Amino acid sequence: MSRWEPEARERLVRAALDLFADQGYDRTTVAEIAERAGLTKSTFFRYFPDKREVLAAGQDTLCKLIEEGIATAPTSATPLDAVEAALDAASTAFIPERRDLGKKMYAAIATSSELQERDALKRLELANAMERALENRGFDETTASLAAELGILALKRAQRNWSKSTNSTAFRDIARQSLQELRAANAKLS
């Protein structure tokens, strides 16, 4: 990989989301995305198999961060402590410069059932990654599965709140608050 590649990927994501917002997801072509990003179609296809996969950009990174966060949590960590460590680690992907991307992504998803599907799969894949990481920590399958659902719910809610926020609160603080709210609600589900 050349040292410019990460930048190209991000430019493609930005161009795609802008076009989805301007003219709709269905009417946007890969050629238009590449052109808007100042790149070629074949560069686009080096990063994404099709325009829909732009939505899943960063998914692998996020899975890896979640796994690392859980693997390196203190040995005394409860399941939800481990989830918090995963969210802390994941937060490093949500740098301030990307906050507007989240907003654009939500707007695009709202208008396209194809993107809603891709987003649902993304969520399931993140939950599976978190569940496996928790099992690797020795938590039983039922506990891991439940804690992972709660963790991904916290992550999704944090992403939504972050993309809506108008101040510069760090993603990590928003994610921690989101998890805290769910922990509090969870204690009263009975």
Q: Which residue ranges make up the site for its own copies (CB under 8 A)? A: 78-81, 116-118, 120-121, 123-124, 140, 142-143, 145-147, 149-150, 153, 157, 181-182, 185-186, 188-190
Token pair 């101040």 is found at: 167
Q: Least distance in Å: CB of 69 to its own copies?
A: 17
Q: Least distance in Å: CB of 161 to its own copies?
A: 12
Among residues 57 and 115, whose Cβ is nearest to its own copies? 115
The whole-angstrom separation of Cα 122 and Cα 142 is 21
Q: Least distance in Å: CB of 8 to its own copies?
A: 26
**Is the distance from CB of 82 to CB of 137 less than 8 angstroms?**
yes
Among residues 17 and 154, whose Cβ is nearest to its own copies? 154
Residue 76, SS3 per DSSP: coil
The whole-angstrom separation of Cα 28 and Cα 161 is 28
The whole-angstrom separation of Cα 137 and Cα 62 is 19
DSSP 8-state assignment for residue 169: -
The whole-angstrom separation of Cα 177 and Cα 111 is 29
Q: How many residues does the chain have?
A: 190
Among residues 15 and 129, whose Cβ is nearest to its own copies? 129
Helix axes 141-164, 99-111, angle to 10 degrees: 100
The whole-angstrom separation of Cα 169 and Cα 104 is 19
Among residues 120 and 170, whose Cβ is nearest to its own copies? 120
Residue 49, SS3 per DSSP: coil
Q: Least distance in Å: CB of 140 to its own copies?
A: 8
Q: Least distance in Å: CB of 185 to its own copies?
A: 5
Q: Least distance in Å: CB of 52 to its own copies?
A: 10
Among residues 100 and 117, whose Cβ is nearest to its own copies? 117
Among residues 3 and 188, whose Cβ is nearest to its own copies? 188
